[in-house]
Chain A
């Protein structure tokens, strides 16, 4: 929407002022998304009730809906959204693949696999335990993928890592669905964890994960400039002084922490990490610093808008945000594919 206005000239370099202006617009849109997320839900509440719930809580059931449900899920969206968007941006830059998403390195599959095994084999039930399983699963898979990708000559190769990630991800997803199908208890416990959602998450899990994601975001910003150099190609990047191996290792750490943390908190949510950095590049051009900054603001907006849609679209009950992002994401991807020029890296 906001970006399509300038979509005709994707690769022209833009002045910093224009991009800073764009950043402010993105921030305003995010504030709008937050407002919508607090105002709109399955039950229609007058704006006065919503405001009172936030600033003058009287303990009524109507205000509790805002304070105890809409506010926490908005916070989860604000924590998970930037993680998904920035993680996607990093992974697209790192693999130099414009259609890469966190799933391509097997991170999400690893997190989901670990949680399923924890519930299925160890009988784990506490939500905070899920968080640890997801993080450890994400980390372990990334490590394996990295070791495979780094096995050949010339250090870790994005191509090999992508292959390893896709392969391991497929194997783990397969095992996960077998366990889910064979075990009714695991299935009924995880039927909705497996569908990412913002609502119904434990507050202590948010407090636990938010610092991880904050660290991941900081690392992402630090690694943005070296990633710019790498995007020119390995040889040219090396000439420009980017520590190839170091940049890649740091990027992988950031991707793992961000994707693992987001999955641990909200379950697997697809499309945001793929779509947002891609769309953002129409406006920003190929500079990773701007891509990452914009992704960090646009992704949570997308996520919150999707969540709001999911709350009101069904005659009764709610649709998980991961389903909405997939439905919203598909047309955007088609639009991307129909453009004459893919926004390059």
Chain B
């Protein structure tokens, strides 16, 4: 039913794309490696910019003004670099309402308008019609779970950048610099990264007790579950905590090749074999935590037996570790470190 509706715009996009390609052919030889570009903010010489990602290469021909971000993380970086996206995903979870608080603050500071929330259809797909109506210049899904099919459909709407390698996993430096290059603000991106690194280093210094604690980070145990989901080192949560001084459980790191996901499920029968001195988890409600630690096998796991665990009850902080961006880190890293400090085992 939506087909006739979409056909016209699609043809239009194809034409525009053709025109753009033709016009940029001349400039093609100038510079295609983003890293080689110097980032004068107004210099149009920076474009086209080409970005490599899991589904291929995407070329952005001119400085994008209207940006849609999908998944998490990217919207923070875009705002930190001084632009306000026109569409973002809904971040509602527990005490977080619609927008991540640091993102909302930044948008207000920039004097921008809060972006539209990208909806999902009843089939669980992105509402492509809505994204099309937003007329984006670029779609940033650098930290997301978009499928190749999603990617192809999105590309028909606007140049789309997918995640680098695996779903919901990204490297902060790589992601921040990539978005910096797309917006032609690489120097600023590097500056933001440096600030975040400094903030993390300061928090680590303030909490020397974190050093060397072997930790694990995972989900709560749902009703009827017989395995616990634990995050793999490629998930951005893990490196953030490692920077604070913790060490990730080598037993979980060893599972990295068993799956393409950002987490691994560990059967509760084998949970006892996973080394951990401190377990971090997220939950929706205190009842989830109770159910998890009451499980007969979870309750026998070393960090739980030792009462050395922390489940996020403040979803704002949970988000701050889920997608730790150059925007969220400066405003949350101290709160996060303090919260964990209250739960880590005494050395």
Chain A residues at the B interface, C-beta cutoff of 8 Å: 41-43, 61, 64-65, 68-69, 73, 123, 125-127, 130, 174, 177-178, 181-182, 184-185, 188-193, 195-197, 199-201, 266-267, 311, 314-318, 320
Contacts and interface: CB of A to CB of B under 8 A. Distances in A.
A192 B270 CA distance: 19
B272 A192 contact: no
B223 A41 contact: no
Contact of A42 (B124, B223, B270): B270
Contact of A61 (B92, B122, B225, B272): B272
Contacts, number: 109
A312 to B, nearest CB: 9
A318 B297 contact: no
Nearest to A320: B224
A190 B295 CA distance: 17
Given A189-B284, A200-B268, A314-B265, 12 more contacts: A42-B267, A42-B269, A61-B300, A174-B122, A177-B124, A191-B222, A193-B223, A193-B224, A200-B222, A200-B295, A266-B224, A315-B258
Contacts of A196: 224
Given A61-B300, A317-B264, A73 B226 contact: yes
A43 B300 CA distance: 15
B223 A316 contact: no
Specify the main secondary structure of chain B where it touches its partner. Answer: loop
B222 A125 contact: no
Interface in B74-101: 92-94
Contacts of B221: 200
Contact of B267 (A181, A185, A311): A311
Contact of B226 (A69, A174, A185, A190): A69
B122 A181 contact: yes
B42 to A, nearest CB: 41
B251 to A, nearest CB: 11
Contacts of B267: 41-43, 311, 316-318
B221 to A, nearest CB: 7
B93 to A, nearest CB: 6
Contact of B92 (A68, A69, A178, A184): A184
14 contacts: A43-B267, A61-B300, A69-B269, A69-B296, A130-B223, A184-B92, A184-B93, A189-B284, A199-B224, A199-B226, A200-B221, A315-B259, A318-B227, A318-B267
B270 A125 contact: no
A58 to B, nearest CB: 13
Contacts of B285: 123, 125
A200 B224 contact: yes
A168 B242 CA distance: 52
B122 A188 contact: no
Contacts of A318: 226-227, 265, 267
A191 B269 CA distance: 21
A188 B284 contact: yes
B266 interface: yes
B258 A181 contact: no
Interface in B90-120: 92-94, 120
Contact of A316 (B225, B266, B291): B266
B255 to A, nearest CB: 6
A282 to B, nearest CB: 33
A192 B223 contact: yes
Interface in B22-71: none
A320 B269 CA distance: 15
Contacts of A41: 267, 269
A201 B268 CA distance: 13
B127 to A, nearest CB: 12
B288 interface: yes
B19 interface: no
Contacts of A311: 226, 267, 269
Interface string B195-226: 00000000000000000000000010111111
Interface in B255-301: 255, 258-259, 264-270, 272-273, 284-285, 287-288, 291, 295-297, 300
Nearest to A124: B287
B287 A125 contact: yes
Select the residue from B224, B265, B273, B287 with max chain A CB neighbours within 10 A. Answer: B224
Contacts of A177: 122, 124
B226 A189 contact: no
B224 A181 contact: no
B224 A188 contact: no
A184 B120 CA distance: 12
Contacts of B300: 61, 64
Contacts of A188: 219, 222, 284
A251 to B, nearest CB: 29
A120 to B, nearest CB: 12
A190 B288 CA distance: 12
A57 to B, nearest CB: 12
B264 A189 contact: no
A67 to B, nearest CB: 8
Contacts of B295: 200
Query: Lowest 5 A-B CB distances belong to which pairs?
Result: A317-B265, A42-B267, A68-B296, A199-B226, A125-B287
A97 to B, nearest CB: 30
Nearest to A119: B223
A98 B298 CA distance: 44
A191 B225 CA distance: 9
Contacts of B265: 314, 316-318
Nearest to B257: A315
A65 B270 CA distance: 9
Given A43-B267, A316-B266, A193 B226 contact: no
Given A65-B269, A316-B266, A200 B223 contact: yes
Contact of A192 (B225, B255, B288): B225
B3 to A, nearest CB: 22
Contacts of B124: 177, 181
A189 B223 contact: yes
A111 to B, nearest CB: 14
Given A73-B226, A197-B225, A189 B288 contact: yes
